[in-house]
Structure 1
Amino acid sequence: MKKTIKKTMSMAVAMMMVVGVFVSVTFAFAANENVSSRYDEVNGKIRGTVNLSKVVKSDGREVVKKGKLCYEGTVEGRVEVRDLFEGAYDKYLTSFKGKKTLLGRAYENLVMFDKGGNFPTAKYTVRFPKNFKVNVNSIDVSANTRTISKITKTYNSADNSVTFVFNLGNWNDYREFFELYEKEKGTEGHEIKIKMPYSVEIKDQSVKNLGRISAEGKCELFYKKLFFEKKIVDISAEKIDFDITR
């Protein structure tokens, strides 16, 4: 039967600290030019944050369409896998590779799970103001990497948001997952990309601030054995706000 942990969008970093073996608190911090992350391990549960503010942006301009003044923009995210998972890989090498749990099982052979024994994923949600129009059919999302095997998107009309779900690896254990990363870490061009067009009509010429777009992510992973499961990883991509101004 498979055991669990998993790692996410840099979200893959200290998750390997799982399985409640440590009673102390462990800190892990990683930073590169584009992505920084921080992870704490307390009583066998990993909590962490990832900062993607340097790789996600929103740009736009005013246009006139059918006699109406509008603002058209794009939320775009682009990150190299080598940057996203760099801290996770370093932590794996220094703290987990070749080491075992109290039950004698190698950390690197633990299998990754979502809640309910499902495929391990990371999620990223972008929320728009109610009066913004999101062109869902024109959203472009891709991943030129073995570390992401599938991407799905879901639009929620209730809060005018789009959530992207990234399948992590091929339901690997950690050794296998980081072997996928090793094949790409020294090269460029292995990017995860999101591009989301949006628009809003400017009905009041005196208004300068048109609204706020926010983006944030989450990765929750579980230890599972038979009918028992426990959350052991809780990692967030810090919230990013974009004030859309004229």
Structure 2
Amino acid sequence: MRILLVEDDEMIGSAIVQALNDAAYAVDWVHDGESATGALISKEHDAVLLDLTLPKRDGIDLLRSMRAEKSKAPVIILTARDALADRIAGLDAGADDYLTKPFEISELLARLRAVSRRLGDHHDNAMRCGKLTVNAATHVATYGDTECRLTSREFALMSALVNRPGTVLSRSQLEQKVYPWEGQVESNAIEVLIHGIRKKLGASVIRNIRGVGWLVDKEDNH
């Protein structure tokens, strides 16, 4: 899951990036509203974590522009503004959730999992596809009778595939879900991750369409 973090506080931003990376999210961090405007043009992000008090452009103004331009990316506001009027304004502007600072990282991760469930049309933390199940909270995957714990990047890749069952994702599409902008990506990084997942769960868990990309089947036919 690719996240855009819009936060000008260095200490808070660094802590969030570290926690999200540890939880298998690819995070792109911008420090002001103007940079966020440019970042959102690409429409690469699955969700946005948005501070309200930002240099160059206010967070509420940015959020209203997103919704005016028909952006459907879920937005979780992260702010010190805790007045009822501010919460109402944020939600009315199009936010999906509102979290006041200071907050526990564990709560932020839980809210992101809730967003992920809505994006993938899941009712709990278990993402299911045929005989494959991937738990978003524990990163434990089961395929048939085999169970294993995925690494952070293996989980990020599997999440991208399971959330779009039956859809072939190219190498570049998978890289966008697994690695942030500044990440150094080896040319065979996706193949290495897929090899590791297949070694743990079986060769048939991810199917390759030669010259196109990879997918997990909607229904298991193996």
Q: TM-score range by the shorter chain?
A: under 0.3
TM-score normalised to structure 1 length? 0.24
TM-score normalised to structure 2 length? 0.26
More helix by share: 2
Q: Which has the higher contact order (CA 8 A, sep 6+)?
A: 1
More strand by share: 1
